[in-house]
Amino acid sequence: MKVVAIIQARMGSSRLPGKVLREVMDKPLLYYQLARVRKSNYLDEIIVATTTLANDDCIVDLCMSQNIKVYRGSEQDVLTRYVEATKEANADIIVRLTADCPLLDPVLIDQLIEVFKREQDVDYVSNVINRTYPRGLDIEVFSQEALIKVNQWATSTSYREHVTNYLLEHPEKFRLRNVSNPTDISFHRWTVDTIEDFQLIQHILIALYSGDPYFSFNDVLRLLDDHPEWYQINVDVKQKDW
């Protein structure tokens, strides 16, 4: 079965425009994320799904420079963008990621893929149903069949924009599985949606990248234990509602 990571990315952002290409140590955040996702042992392919807007040409340029495939589709109908990218890649299993998560841990990606492959009766596996991991380590794994069903049944604008919301809000129609961390560390925020988020990620990358570009999320936790003041940088940022 072909396993494909599809990373949705665009330059538009209401709170921090151009965030995915903001640079730390002369490299854009998306560069770090792509390199880390590539370390997964189970991914057969990685696709960045962006829009057809000229504003997103720079995302395409970065992906081409890194030999990453790109699919371009609707800006607002992200669900259709995913369906079309899935069909083009002939993916059986989709790993949904978003480009505002530069610290994604490839070991965690593989753990969720393993759970999906091991379970006999499951349509969807993630670590976001009951959050115990930091926001910014969000990983969703689902079948092409589940995605096609969502595409058929999800009609509202909100469901079309937020790819898996329909699936998560209709557990009676899908077989869902959550993967939890032994300790709830979901109070940490490692996604990038504001300048404060970016500043925290900047601190983390500068501190850890030179020692090991593929540092684990546990390495980040240990770093923050050593620098508890960094946690305060974005502690007041509120997650944007769907």
DSSP H helices in 17-118: 29-37, 57-65, 78-89, 106-118
Phi and psi, residue 168, nearest 5°? -70, -30
The answer to whether 194 and 15 are in contact (CB under 8 A) is yes
Q: Is residue 240 part of a domain?
A: no
Report whether pLDDT(241) > 70.
no
Tokens of 102: 């530069």
pLDDT of residue 238: 82
Query: Helix (H) and strand (E) counts for the chain?
Result: 10, 9
pLDDT(240) > 80: no
Residue 97 included in any domain: yes
Mean pLDDT value of segment 226-230: 97
Q: Is residue 237 part of a domain?
A: no
The range of the structural domain enclosing residue 51 comes to 3-231
112: in domain: yes
Instruction: Give the contacts of 56 (CB within 8 A, at least 6 positions apart).
Output: 9, 10, 11, 50, 72
Distance CA 29, CA 112 (A): 23
Residue 28: how many CB atoms within 10 A of its CB?
20
- Number of domains comprising the chain: 1
What is the domain-level CATH number for residue 77? 3.90.550.10
Instruction: Give the model confidence (pLDDT) of 48-60 as tens digits.
Output: 999 999 999 999 9
Tell me what the pLDDT averaged over the chain comes to. Answer: 96
Show the CA angle centred on residue 195, arms to residues 191 and 199, nearest 5°: 75
Of 239 and 56, the structure prediction assigns the larger pLDDT to 56
Among residues 97, 120, 125, the alpha carbon closest in space to that of 38 is found at 97
What pLDDT shows up at residue 17?
Answer: 87
- Write out pLDDT tens, residues 188-222: 999 999 999 999 999 999 999 999 999 999 999 99
Residue 191, in any domain of the structure: yes
- Whether the per-residue pLDDT at 228 is higher than 80: the answer is yes
pLDDT per residue as tens digits for the range 121-168: 999 999 999 999 999 999 999 999 999 999 999 999 999 999 999 999
Q: Which pLDDT band holds residue 13 (cuts at 50, 70, 90)?
A: confident
Q: Is 201 within the bounds of a domain?
A: yes
**pLDDT band at residue 14 using 50, 70 and 90 as cut-offs:** confident
238: in domain = no
pLDDT score of 162: 93
- Is position 204 within any domain? yes
DSSP one-letter code for 210: T
